[in-house]
Protein backbone atom coordinates (compact mmCIF):
# COMPACT_ATOMS: atom_id res chain seq x y z
CA UNK A 1 0.00 0.00 0.00
CA UNK A 2 2.14 2.95 -1.21
CA UNK A 3 1.66 6.11 0.84
CA UNK A 4 3.06 9.51 0.10
CA UNK A 5 4.22 11.86 2.84
CA UNK A 6 5.53 11.26 6.33
CA UNK A 7 4.43 7.84 7.65
CA UNK A 8 5.61 8.51 11.20
CA UNK A 9 2.73 9.87 13.17
CA UNK A 10 5.03 10.65 16.08
CA UNK A 11 6.71 13.49 14.18
CA UNK A 12 6.18 16.75 16.01
CA UNK A 13 3.57 18.22 13.66
CA UNK A 14 1.69 14.96 13.14
CA UNK A 15 1.68 14.04 16.80
CA UNK A 16 0.39 17.46 17.81
CA UNK A 17 -2.40 17.32 15.24
CA UNK A 18 -3.39 13.79 16.25
CA UNK A 19 -3.55 14.66 19.92
CA UNK A 20 -5.50 17.83 19.22
CA UNK A 21 -7.96 16.00 16.97
CA UNK A 22 -8.51 13.19 19.46
CA UNK A 23 -9.05 15.66 22.29
CA UNK A 24 -11.63 17.50 20.23
CA UNK A 25 -13.41 14.29 19.24
CA UNK A 26 -13.50 13.04 22.83
CA UNK A 27 -14.67 16.45 24.09
CA UNK A 28 -17.94 15.92 22.25
CA UNK A 29 -18.75 13.09 24.64
CA UNK A 30 -20.10 15.59 27.14
CA UNK A 31 -21.68 17.85 24.51
CA UNK A 32 -25.44 18.02 24.91
CA UNK A 33 -26.27 18.51 21.22
CA UNK A 34 -28.45 16.79 18.65
CA UNK A 35 -26.87 14.36 16.18
CA UNK A 36 -26.63 16.75 13.15
CA UNK A 37 -24.88 19.44 15.21
CA UNK A 38 -22.70 16.78 16.84
CA UNK A 39 -21.50 15.41 13.47
CA UNK A 40 -21.23 18.88 11.98
CA UNK A 41 -18.78 19.98 14.65
CA UNK A 42 -16.92 16.67 14.50
CA UNK A 43 -16.61 16.80 10.70
CA UNK A 44 -15.36 20.37 10.82
CA UNK A 45 -12.65 19.44 13.34
CA UNK A 46 -11.53 16.45 11.26
CA UNK A 47 -11.44 18.59 8.09
CA UNK A 48 -9.30 21.21 9.85
CA UNK A 49 -6.74 18.72 11.13
CA UNK A 50 -6.41 16.88 7.81
CA UNK A 51 -6.32 20.00 5.64
CA UNK A 52 -9.52 18.96 3.85
CA UNK A 53 -12.06 21.25 2.29
CA UNK A 54 -14.94 18.88 3.13
CA UNK A 55 -15.65 16.06 5.57
CA UNK A 56 -18.56 13.76 6.30
CA UNK A 57 -19.56 10.61 8.14
CA UNK A 58 -21.34 7.92 6.10
CA UNK A 59 -23.68 5.59 7.97
CA UNK A 60 -23.97 1.92 7.04
CA UNK A 61 -27.57 0.78 6.58
CA UNK A 62 -28.98 -2.72 7.15
CA UNK A 63 -28.67 -3.62 3.44
CA UNK A 64 -25.03 -2.66 3.07
CA UNK A 65 -25.72 0.82 1.71
CA UNK A 66 -23.87 3.91 2.91
CA UNK A 67 -25.73 7.22 3.21
CA UNK A 68 -24.39 10.47 4.57
CA UNK A 69 -24.98 11.18 8.25
CA UNK A 70 -26.72 14.55 8.76
CA UNK A 71 -24.12 17.10 9.83
CA UNK A 72 -21.28 17.58 7.34
CA UNK A 73 -18.56 20.16 6.75
CA UNK A 74 -18.07 22.00 3.44
CA UNK A 75 -21.04 20.46 1.58
CA UNK A 76 -23.35 23.48 1.80
CA UNK A 77 -23.31 23.77 -2.03
CA UNK A 78 -24.50 20.16 -2.50
CA UNK A 79 -28.26 20.14 -1.72
CA UNK A 80 -28.76 16.57 -2.95
CA UNK A 81 -26.02 14.96 -0.86
CA UNK A 82 -28.62 13.20 1.35
CA UNK A 83 -29.84 11.29 -1.72
CA UNK A 84 -26.42 9.85 -2.58
CA UNK A 85 -26.00 6.13 -1.90
CA UNK A 86 -22.79 4.09 -1.91
CA UNK A 87 -22.99 0.29 -1.89
CA UNK A 88 -20.57 -1.54 0.35
CA UNK A 89 -20.51 -4.68 -1.79
CA UNK A 90 -21.00 -8.32 -0.89
CA UNK A 91 -18.42 -10.86 0.30
CA UNK A 92 -15.58 -8.32 0.24
CA UNK A 93 -15.87 -7.79 -3.53
CA UNK A 94 -17.10 -4.18 -3.47
CA UNK A 95 -14.64 -1.32 -3.72
CA UNK A 96 -15.57 0.26 -0.35
CA UNK A 97 -15.50 -3.12 1.43
CA UNK A 98 -12.08 -3.88 -0.05
CA UNK A 99 -10.52 -0.43 0.31
CA UNK A 100 -11.71 0.46 3.82
CA UNK A 101 -12.43 -2.73 5.70
CA UNK A 102 -9.92 -4.81 3.69
CA UNK A 103 -7.21 -2.19 4.30
CA UNK A 104 -6.30 -1.93 0.59
CA UNK A 105 -6.55 1.84 0.28
CA UNK A 106 -3.67 3.24 -1.85
CA UNK A 107 -2.75 6.92 -1.53
CA UNK A 108 -0.92 8.37 -4.50
CA UNK A 109 -0.20 11.97 -5.40
CA UNK A 110 -2.19 13.27 -2.48
CA UNK A 111 -5.39 11.24 -2.99
CA UNK A 112 -6.86 7.72 -3.20
CA UNK A 113 -7.66 7.22 -6.90
CA UNK A 114 -9.91 4.19 -6.49
CA UNK A 115 -11.89 5.97 -3.78
CA UNK A 116 -12.23 9.07 -5.99
CA UNK A 117 -13.76 6.83 -8.67
CA UNK A 118 -16.32 5.51 -6.17
CA UNK A 119 -17.48 9.05 -5.32
CA UNK A 120 -17.76 10.08 -8.96
CA UNK A 121 -19.76 6.94 -9.75
CA UNK A 122 -22.09 7.84 -6.90
CA UNK A 123 -22.69 11.33 -8.35
CA UNK A 124 -20.09 13.46 -6.55
CA UNK A 125 -18.35 14.52 -9.78
CA UNK A 126 -16.73 17.62 -8.34
CA UNK A 127 -14.52 15.67 -5.90
CA UNK A 128 -10.86 16.43 -6.62
CA UNK A 129 -9.25 14.23 -3.94
CA UNK A 130 -10.47 12.04 -1.08
CA UNK A 131 -9.44 9.86 1.82
CA UNK A 132 -11.53 7.63 4.09
CA UNK A 133 -11.24 5.34 7.10
CA UNK A 134 -13.65 2.96 8.87
CA UNK A 135 -16.02 4.40 11.45
CA UNK A 136 -16.34 1.52 13.87
CA UNK A 137 -15.95 0.29 17.43
CA UNK A 138 -14.12 -3.04 17.60
CA UNK A 139 -15.81 -5.42 15.17
CA UNK A 140 -18.95 -3.33 14.95
CA UNK A 141 -19.18 -1.24 11.79
CA UNK A 142 -21.02 2.08 11.83
CA UNK A 143 -19.78 3.20 8.40
CA UNK A 144 -16.88 5.41 7.38
CA UNK A 145 -15.49 8.90 7.85
CA UNK A 146 -14.30 10.62 4.68
CA UNK A 147 -12.45 13.85 3.83
CA UNK A 148 -12.31 15.55 0.46
CA UNK A 149 -10.46 18.19 -1.57
CA UNK A 150 -7.17 18.68 0.26
CA UNK A 151 -5.37 21.93 -0.51
CA UNK A 152 -1.95 20.31 -0.01
CA UNK A 153 -2.64 16.66 -0.83
CA UNK A 154 -3.51 13.93 1.66
CA UNK A 155 -0.63 12.06 3.35
CA UNK A 156 -0.01 9.00 5.48
CA UNK A 157 -0.31 11.19 8.56
CA UNK A 158 -3.80 12.26 7.47
CA UNK A 159 -4.85 8.65 6.91
CA UNK A 160 -3.55 7.57 10.33
CA UNK A 161 -5.27 10.52 11.96
CA UNK A 162 -8.49 9.69 10.11
CA UNK A 163 -8.37 6.07 11.27
CA UNK A 164 -7.84 7.15 14.85
CA UNK A 165 -10.68 9.65 14.62
CA UNK A 166 -12.98 6.99 13.12
CA UNK A 167 -12.18 4.57 15.94
CA UNK A 168 -12.65 7.16 18.69
CA UNK A 169 -15.86 8.42 17.06
CA UNK A 170 -17.08 4.82 16.89
CA UNK A 171 -16.47 4.24 20.58
CA UNK A 172 -18.04 7.59 21.38
CA UNK A 173 -21.12 6.85 19.24
CA UNK A 174 -21.46 3.38 20.78
CA UNK A 175 -21.35 4.98 24.22
CA UNK A 176 -24.05 7.43 23.23
CA UNK A 177 -26.18 4.61 21.84
CA UNK A 178 -25.73 2.74 25.11
CA UNK A 179 -26.80 5.85 27.02
CA UNK A 180 -29.92 6.18 24.87
CA UNK A 181 -30.73 2.49 25.27
CA UNK A 182 -30.18 2.80 29.01
CA UNK A 183 -32.59 5.72 29.06
CA UNK A 184 -35.19 3.74 27.10
CA UNK A 185 -34.69 0.76 29.39
CA UNK A 186 -35.11 2.97 32.45
CA UNK A 187 -38.31 4.42 30.97
CA UNK A 188 -39.65 0.93 30.22
CA UNK A 189 -38.71 -0.17 33.72
CA UNK A 190 -40.56 2.79 35.21
CA UNK A 191 -43.58 1.93 33.06
CA UNK A 192 -43.38 -1.68 34.26
CA UNK A 193 -43.14 -0.57 37.89
CA UNK A 194 -46.13 1.73 37.40
CA UNK A 195 -48.08 -1.07 35.73
CA UNK A 196 -47.15 -3.43 38.56
CA UNK A 197 -48.41 -0.93 41.14
CA UNK A 198 -51.63 -0.51 39.17
CA UNK A 199 -52.07 -4.26 38.79
CA UNK A 200 -51.40 -4.88 42.47
CA UNK A 201 -53.94 -2.24 43.46
CA UNK A 202 -56.48 -3.65 41.02
CA UNK A 203 -55.97 -7.18 42.31
CA UNK A 204 -56.34 -6.04 45.89
CA UNK A 205 -59.40 -3.94 45.10
CA UNK A 206 -60.90 -6.65 42.91
CA UNK A 207 -60.33 -9.33 45.53
CA UNK A 208 -61.89 -7.22 48.26
CA UNK A 209 -64.85 -6.38 46.05
CA UNK A 210 -65.43 -10.05 45.19
CA UNK A 211 -65.24 -11.03 48.85
CA UNK A 212 -67.59 -8.18 49.77
CA UNK A 213 -70.16 -9.36 47.23
CA UNK A 214 -69.88 -12.94 48.43
CA UNK A 215 -70.21 -11.90 52.06
CA UNK A 216 -73.24 -9.75 51.23
CA UNK A 217 -74.93 -12.59 49.36
CA UNK A 218 -74.14 -15.00 52.18
CA UNK A 219 -75.55 -12.68 54.83
CA UNK A 220 -78.56 -11.31 52.96
CA UNK A 221 -79.59 -14.43 51.12
CA UNK A 222 -78.36 -17.78 52.44
CA UNK A 223 -78.40 -16.94 56.16
CA UNK A 224 -81.76 -15.20 55.89
CA UNK A 225 -83.28 -18.20 54.16
CA UNK A 226 -81.77 -20.47 56.78
CA UNK A 227 -83.23 -18.32 59.58
CA UNK A 228 -86.64 -18.51 57.92
CA UNK A 229 -86.34 -22.29 57.66
CA UNK A 230 -85.51 -22.48 61.40
CA UNK A 231 -88.62 -20.44 62.28
CA UNK A 232 -90.79 -22.73 60.18
CA UNK A 233 -89.18 -25.73 61.82
CA UNK A 234 -89.94 -24.33 65.28
CA UNK A 235 -93.64 -24.04 64.39
CA UNK A 236 -93.66 -27.59 63.05
CA UNK A 237 -91.94 -28.87 66.19
CA UNK A 238 -94.52 -27.13 68.36
CA UNK A 239 -97.35 -28.79 66.43
CA UNK A 240 -95.61 -32.18 66.47
CA UNK A 241 -94.71 -32.11 70.15
CA UNK A 242 -95.18 -35.56 71.66
CA UNK A 243 -95.53 -37.24 68.28
CA UNK A 244 -93.23 -39.88 66.85
CA UNK A 245 -91.58 -37.23 64.62
CA UNK A 246 -90.45 -35.02 67.52
CA UNK A 247 -87.00 -36.60 67.89
CA UNK A 248 -86.33 -36.36 64.15
CA UNK A 249 -87.33 -32.71 64.19
CA UNK A 250 -85.03 -32.06 67.14
CA UNK A 251 -82.19 -33.63 65.23
CA UNK A 252 -83.02 -31.52 62.16
CA UNK A 253 -83.00 -28.36 64.30
CA UNK A 254 -79.54 -29.27 65.66
CA UNK A 255 -78.25 -29.84 62.12
CA UNK A 256 -79.62 -26.50 60.90
CA UNK A 257 -77.93 -24.68 63.78
CA UNK A 258 -74.62 -26.33 62.95
CA UNK A 259 -75.01 -25.25 59.33
CA UNK A 260 -75.83 -21.71 60.44
CA UNK A 261 -72.79 -21.58 62.75
CA UNK A 262 -70.58 -22.84 59.95
CA UNK A 263 -71.90 -20.23 57.52
CA UNK A 264 -71.41 -17.44 60.06
CA UNK A 265 -67.79 -18.50 60.60
CA UNK A 266 -67.36 -18.50 56.83
CA UNK A 267 -68.87 -15.02 56.70
CA UNK A 268 -66.30 -13.78 59.23
CA UNK A 269 -63.44 -15.37 57.28
CA UNK A 270 -64.43 -13.99 53.86
CA UNK A 271 -65.36 -10.50 54.99
CA UNK A 272 -62.78 -8.18 53.38
CA UNK A 273 -60.15 -6.56 55.54
CA UNK A 274 -60.42 -2.83 56.06
CA UNK A 275 -59.07 -0.93 53.05
CA UNK A 276 -56.90 1.27 55.26
CA UNK A 277 -53.47 -0.24 56.03
CA UNK A 278 -52.59 -0.72 59.71
CA UNK A 279 -51.11 2.36 61.39
CA UNK A 280 -48.85 0.19 63.53
CA UNK A 281 -47.85 -3.08 61.91
CA UNK A 282 -46.40 -4.46 65.14
CA UNK A 283 -49.69 -3.97 66.99
CA UNK A 284 -51.66 -5.53 64.14
CA UNK A 285 -49.39 -8.60 64.10
CA UNK A 286 -49.64 -9.02 67.88
CA UNK A 287 -53.43 -8.72 67.78
CA UNK A 288 -53.62 -11.44 65.13
CA UNK A 289 -51.30 -13.69 67.13
CA UNK A 290 -53.28 -13.12 70.32
CA UNK A 291 -56.49 -14.04 68.49
CA UNK A 292 -54.81 -17.25 67.32
CA UNK A 293 -53.57 -18.03 70.83
CA UNK A 294 -57.06 -17.64 72.30
CA UNK A 295 -58.83 -19.45 69.47
CA UNK A 296 -56.39 -22.28 68.72
CA UNK A 297 -54.14 -22.44 71.81
CA UNK A 298 -50.98 -21.88 69.76
CA UNK A 299 -48.30 -19.97 71.68
CA UNK A 300 -46.89 -17.02 69.71
CA UNK A 301 -43.41 -15.54 69.70
CA UNK A 302 -42.54 -12.25 67.97
CA UNK A 303 -39.14 -10.91 66.90
CA UNK A 304 -39.72 -7.41 65.52
CA UNK A 305 -37.05 -5.24 63.93
CA UNK A 306 -39.28 -3.31 61.56
CA UNK A 307 -37.63 -0.57 59.49
CA UNK A 308 -39.07 2.91 59.75
CA UNK A 309 -41.19 4.69 57.17
CA UNK A 310 -42.76 1.60 55.64
CA UNK A 311 -45.06 2.46 52.74
CA UNK A 312 -48.74 1.93 53.61
CA UNK A 313 -49.16 -0.53 50.74
CA UNK A 314 -46.20 -2.60 51.98
CA UNK A 315 -47.71 -2.68 55.48
CA UNK A 316 -51.04 -3.86 54.09
CA UNK A 317 -49.45 -6.62 51.98
CA UNK A 318 -47.22 -7.75 54.84
CA UNK A 319 -50.15 -8.00 57.25
CA UNK A 320 -52.31 -9.80 54.70
CA UNK A 321 -49.54 -12.32 54.01
CA UNK A 322 -48.81 -12.87 57.70
CA UNK A 323 -52.51 -13.42 58.34
CA UNK A 324 -52.61 -15.87 55.41
CA UNK A 325 -49.66 -17.82 56.79
CA UNK A 326 -51.13 -17.88 60.32
CA UNK A 327 -54.50 -19.05 59.00
CA UNK A 328 -52.74 -22.01 57.38
CA UNK A 329 -51.02 -22.76 60.70
CA UNK A 330 -54.35 -22.68 62.54
CA UNK A 331 -56.19 -24.85 60.04
CA UNK A 332 -53.61 -27.42 59.03
CA UNK A 333 -50.37 -27.40 61.03
CA UNK A 334 -51.50 -28.84 64.41
CA UNK A 335 -48.77 -26.64 65.86
CA UNK A 336 -48.17 -25.69 69.48
CA UNK A 337 -45.91 -22.71 68.80
CA UNK A 338 -45.48 -20.14 66.01
CA UNK A 339 -42.79 -17.48 65.56
CA UNK A 340 -43.09 -14.31 63.47
CA UNK A 341 -39.92 -12.40 62.57
CA UNK A 342 -39.93 -9.00 60.84
CA UNK A 343 -36.79 -7.08 59.95
CA UNK A 344 -35.30 -4.68 57.44
CA UNK A 345 -32.94 -6.45 55.01
CA UNK A 346 -31.40 -5.27 51.72
CA UNK A 347 -33.53 -2.11 51.56
CA UNK A 348 -36.65 -4.18 52.02
CA UNK A 349 -38.85 -5.93 54.56
CA UNK A 350 -38.19 -9.60 55.36
CA UNK A 351 -40.88 -11.58 57.16
CA UNK A 352 -40.64 -15.12 58.49
CA UNK A 353 -43.52 -17.19 59.89
CA UNK A 354 -42.30 -20.46 61.40
CA UNK A 355 -44.28 -23.17 63.22
CA UNK A 356 -43.55 -26.53 64.88
CA UNK A 357 -46.48 -28.33 63.27
CA UNK A 358 -46.81 -31.48 61.21
CA UNK A 359 -45.43 -29.97 57.98
CA UNK A 360 -46.16 -31.10 54.44
CA UNK A 361 -44.50 -31.79 51.08
CA UNK A 362 -44.07 -28.38 49.46
CA UNK A 363 -44.14 -29.75 45.90
CA UNK A 364 -47.58 -31.22 46.56
CA UNK A 365 -49.00 -28.19 48.37
CA UNK A 366 -50.78 -26.84 45.30
CA UNK A 367 -52.89 -30.00 45.18
CA UNK A 368 -53.59 -30.10 48.90
CA UNK A 369 -56.95 -28.71 50.02
CA UNK A 370 -56.67 -25.49 52.00
CA UNK A 371 -53.15 -24.56 50.83
CA UNK A 372 -54.25 -22.33 47.94
CA UNK A 373 -53.63 -19.36 50.24
CA UNK A 374 -49.88 -20.00 50.07
CA UNK A 375 -50.02 -19.63 46.29
CA UNK A 376 -51.89 -16.34 46.65
CA UNK A 377 -49.32 -15.21 49.22
CA UNK A 378 -46.46 -15.94 46.83
CA UNK A 379 -48.11 -14.17 43.90
CA UNK A 380 -48.93 -11.13 46.03
CA UNK A 381 -45.29 -10.76 47.10
CA UNK A 382 -43.97 -11.23 43.56
CA UNK A 383 -46.33 -8.56 42.25
CA UNK A 384 -44.91 -6.23 44.90
CA UNK A 385 -41.41 -6.87 43.47
CA UNK A 386 -40.28 -9.36 46.10
CA UNK A 387 -39.81 -13.09 46.58
CA UNK A 388 -41.25 -15.86 48.72
CA UNK A 389 -39.85 -19.20 49.95
CA UNK A 390 -41.81 -21.99 51.61
CA UNK A 391 -39.84 -24.70 53.42
CA UNK A 392 -41.50 -27.70 54.99
CA UNK A 393 -41.22 -31.46 55.47
CA UNK A 394 -43.64 -33.91 57.04
CA UNK A 395 -43.05 -33.87 60.78
CA UNK A 396 -40.61 -30.93 60.67
CA UNK A 397 -42.85 -27.89 60.74
CA UNK A 398 -43.12 -25.13 58.15
CA UNK A 399 -41.31 -21.87 57.45
CA UNK A 400 -42.82 -19.22 55.20
CA UNK A 401 -40.34 -16.47 54.35
CA UNK A 402 -40.88 -13.49 52.07
CA UNK A 403 -39.18 -10.20 51.19
CA UNK A 404 -40.51 -7.01 49.62
CA UNK A 405 -38.89 -3.66 48.78
CA UNK A 406 -39.64 -0.84 51.21
CA UNK A 407 -41.66 1.00 48.57
CA UNK A 408 -43.69 -0.11 45.58
CATH number, position 317: 3.30.565.10
* 303 within a domain of the structure (yes/no): yes
Q: Is the pTM of this model over 0.85?
A: no
Find the angle CA(81)-CA(83)-CA(89) to the nearest 5 degrees: 105
156 and 37 co-located in one domain: yes
Q: Is residue 82, in this structure, part of any structural domain at all?
A: yes
Q: Are 103 and 26 in contact (CB under 8 A)?
A: no
Q: Residue 370: inside a domain, yes or no?
A: yes
**Residue 44 counted as domain residue:** yes
Q: Which of 151, 168, 184 is the last residue of a domain?
A: 184
The 10s digit of each residue's pLDDT in 225-271 is 777 777 787 888 787 777 877 788 888 878 877 777 777 666 555 55
Residues 295/330, Cβ–Cβ less than 8 Å: yes
Name the percent of the chain lying above pLDDT 90: 27
C-alpha 160/C-alpha 85 separation (Å) is: 26
Is residue 132 within 8 A of residue 146, CB to CB? The reply is: yes
Of the three residues 132, 153, 184, the one that is the final residue of a domain is: 184
Domain membership of residue 202 (yes or no) is no
Among residues 343, 348, 278, 344, the alpha carbon closest in space to that of 315 is found at 278
On whether both 279 and 406 belong to a single domain, the answer is yes
Tell me how far apart the alpha carbons of residues 222 and 220 are, in angstroms, rounded to a whole number: 6
pLDDT at 113 over 90: yes
Residue 68, in any domain of the structure: yes
pLDDT at 339: 96
158 and 288 within one domain: no
**Intra-chain end-to-end CA distance of the chain, in Å:** 63
Indicate whether 360 pLDDT > 80: yes
407 in any annotated domain: yes
CA distance linking residue 319 with residue 337, whole number of Å? 19
Q: Are residues 39 and 151 in the same domain?
A: yes
Answer whether residue 93 shows pLDDT above 50.
yes
Averaged pLDDT score across all residues of the chain: 80
Q: Are residues 42 and 145 in the same domain?
A: yes
Q: How much is the average pLDDT of 26-46?
A: 75
48 and 180 inside one domain: yes
CATH number of the domain that residue 109 is part of: 3.30.450.40
Q: Tell me the pLDDT tens digit for each residue of 169-196.
A: 888 888 878 888 888 888 887 777 677 6
Looking at the structure, tell me whether residues 177 and 283 fall in a common domain.
Answer: no
Report if residue 222 sits inside a domain: no
Angle formed at CA 109 by CA 104 and CA 114, multiple of 5 degrees? 40
Mean pLDDT of the 11-27 span = 57
Which structural domain range is residue 285 located in?
275-408
Between CA 288 and CA 319 the distance in angstroms is 9
Same domain, 308 and 168: no
- Tell me: do 42 and 169 sit in the same domain: yes
Domain end: 149, 184, 219, which one?
Answer: 184
Alpha helices in 122-155 (DSSP H): none
Domain count for the chain, please give it: 2
Kindly state whether residues 298 and 174 are assigned to the same domain. Answer: no
Amino acid sequence: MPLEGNTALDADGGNDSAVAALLEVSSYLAADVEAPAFFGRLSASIAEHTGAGRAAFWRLGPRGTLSVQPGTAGFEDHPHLQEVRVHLGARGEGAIERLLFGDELDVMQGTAPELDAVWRAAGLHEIASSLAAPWRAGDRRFGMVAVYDSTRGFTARDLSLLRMAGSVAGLLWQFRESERELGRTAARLEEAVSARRHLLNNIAAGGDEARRRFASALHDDSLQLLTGAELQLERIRADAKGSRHASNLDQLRSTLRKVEDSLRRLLINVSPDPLQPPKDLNDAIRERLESMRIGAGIEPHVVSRLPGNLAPAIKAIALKNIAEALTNVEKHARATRVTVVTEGVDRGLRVEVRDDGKGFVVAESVRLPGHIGLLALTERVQLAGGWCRIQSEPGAGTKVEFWMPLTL
